[in-house]
Amino acid sequence: MNQHLAALLFTAALSACSTQNVSAPVATETVPQPTDPISCADDAGWDDPATPRQIFGNSWYVGTCGISAILITSPQGHILIDSGTEKAAPQVAANIEALGFKLQDVRLLLLSHEHHDHSGGMAYLQQVTAAPLYARTPADAVMRSGKASRNDPQFLVSPAMPAVAKVTTIRDDQKVNVGSLQIQALATTGHTPGSTSWTWTSCDETLCRNMAYIDSLTAISDDQYRYSDDNSHPGYLASFRTALNQISQLPCDILLTPHPGASAMWQRLGPDPSQPLVNPNGCRDYAAKASLKLDKRLAEESSAH
C-alpha cells in the first residue's frame, strides 16, 4: 500500500476512535462501509458501492463502481468532480470521509456533464459540503433548474434531478483555484452541450503526472435528435469535432473518465492492475475511438433518410 494512503487510513482510524461520543456526519451514519475491498466490474451498476482509493498523488477515486467521482486534495481545501446519482451521493460523501478527509474541507464542486447519472447528487453534496458548484454554459442553467432542454441530444430520455442552489458560471477555458490547486476547464461539447473535461497536475513527492478527466464522448441521443441536422442546432457537430481534436492533443499521463469502463479504469487501479495506470497516449486513443463512433453515427443518420 502507498505510504501516504496508509498514513491517511491510519489517521482516519485514530480519529474515529477518539470521537466516538460525537455525532457522526450524515454520510457515514447512513451508509454502511464494506469491511473488504470491493472488486468492480466494467458493467457495474451506477449505484454499486466501490472502495475509495488513491489514484496518484493527491487525486483520489471516491465514486461508485459504475460512475466516477474524483477528489483532488490540498492542505487549503479540496475539489470534487462529479457526484454520481442522487442515490449514490451519500456513498460518495462516505467515501471521502473513509479516506480521512472532511466534507467541510471540500471547497469546490465541478461536473463533467449535466446528466442525472453524473450530477444528480450534486444538490446533496452541496448541502453537506457548503461548496459552490462551478459549471459552464449551458450546464449551469440545467443544474440551477434540474431540467434539461432540447439542445441536449438525450433531452427526451433525460430525467430531472434536484436543482442546485449555488451555481457559478465559468468560461469554457477557465482555470479554477482552491489554495495550491489549479484545475483547467476544457469545453468538450458533444455528449451534452455543457460537457466539460478537466486537467490538472498531481505529484507524489518529486514525481508529477498530467491528469485528465475527460468527459463522455459518445454520440448517443433520443429518437428525435440528429447530430447531422445543423439547421436545428447550428455548429454543434463542428464543436464536437473540435473537442475531439483538442482532447487528442492534451498532455495526458493518466486518463480518467466519468464511466470507469470507458477507459479501463478498474484494470488500471487497485492492488493488482492488469494494465498500466500511466499511458501518455490515453487521451489520443480515447478521442480516436470516439471519432470513429461519431462517424458511424453520422453514417447511420444519413442512411436513414
pLDDT tens for 50-82 read 999 999 999 999 999 999 999 999 999 999 999
Domain that holds residue 276: 3-11+44-221+231-300
Q: Which helix (DSSP H) or strand (DSSP E) does residue 78 occupy?
A: strand 78-81
Pick from 77, 74, 53: nearest CA to 63? 53
In a domain, 226, yes or no: no
In a domain, 16, yes or no: no
Q: 255-298 pLDDT, tens per residue?
A: 999 999 999 999 999 778 999 999 999 999 999 999 999 999 99
pLDDT band at 33 (very low <50, low <70, confident <90, very high): low
The reported pLDDT for the residue numbered 31 is 62
Kindly report whether the global pTM for this prediction surpasses the value 0.85: yes
Look at the chain and report how many structural domains it folds into.
1
The reported pLDDT for the residue numbered 32 is 59
In a domain, 249, yes or no: yes
N-term to C-term CA, the chain = 57
Q: In this structure, what are the phi and psi dihedrals at residue 85, rounded to the nearest 5 degrees?
A: -75, 170
Q: What is the CATH number of the domain that holds 271?
A: 3.60.15.10
In a domain, 250, yes or no: yes
In a domain, 214, yes or no: yes
> Which strand ranges, in their side-by-side order, compose the sheet holding 181-187?
175-178, 181-187, 196-204, 207-213, 254-256
The reported pLDDT for the residue numbered 38 is 86
Mean pLDDT of the chain: 90
Q: What is the mean pLDDT of residues 213-235?
A: 97
Q: How many residues does the chain have?
A: 305
In a domain, 109, yes or no: yes
Q: 111-151 pLDDT, tens per residue?
A: 999 999 999 999 999 999 999 999 999 999 999 999 999 99
DSSP SS3 for 168: strand
